[in-house]
Amino acid sequence: MTMLSPSILSADFGSLQEEILKLERGGADFIHLDVMDGIFVPNITFGAPVIKKLRNTTKVPFDVHLMIDRPERYIKDFAEAGADIITIHEEATTHLHRTIEEIKSYGLKAGVALNPSTSLDSLEYILDYIDLVLIMTVNPGFGGQSFIRSMERKIKRMRQIIDDRKLNILIEADGGSKLDNAKEIIDYGLDMIVVGSGIFEAKDVIERTKMFKEL
């Protein structure tokens, strides 16, 4: 069964604890936390102190997505804040393997994210060391964007690579998933799907989360 990782990027930042509890009641498998620095992406969200505060709200695992420049500077901070998965961008760090090893040294799952235009070939020599590949299906930095259609081929190709090599790696997609297209996107070969505005645009967040889970 594909796991649901709702992103709080589109939630009410004035009541994040309440919003997370709604996701928990709706059956979310993970809480997706988008950390943006205004450098790697043109937006700023929150950092490790906020995540540490939110950690006491729920036992649902935290899927922390670092959309920041040189993430190796802050791995310890996010590990200590309560992350269960830390995903970094291949494009954001020079020494990808070293940073992945640091994430895993804290007993966490390590993921690598790829921007829409980044080739899967960039993962060739890191696949044996990671737990998750996050395929960005929109350009990172903002919520509410439309799914980029060419990412269908990218997800399917990633699925084929992982299956052919018999790797224990999850495939996650982030961006543009709505009720009317999420099932199709899942069927491309996903293990996890990130949904933001598709959940928080609803009046009843709990019920909308349940609807996505049913997909």
pLDDT tens digit sequence for 161-181: 999 999 999 999 998 999 999
The Cα–Cα gap between 215 and 213 comes to: 5
pLDDT at position 200, please?
Answer: 96
Comparing CA positions, the residue from 96, 183, 193 lying closest to residue 135 is 193
pLDDT at position 140, please?
Answer: 85
* Beta strands 132-136; 109-114: pairing state: parallel
pLDDT at position 23, please?
Answer: 98
**Under-50 pLDDT residues of the chain:** none
pTM of the model: 0.96
* Beta strands 170-174; 85-89: pairing state: unpaired
pLDDT at position 1, please?
Answer: 86
Angle between helices 16-26 and 48-55 (to 10 degrees): 50
pLDDT at position 143, please?
Answer: 72
Active-site residue set: 34, 174
pLDDT tens digit sequence for 129-164: 999 999 999 998 777 778 999 999 999 999 999 999
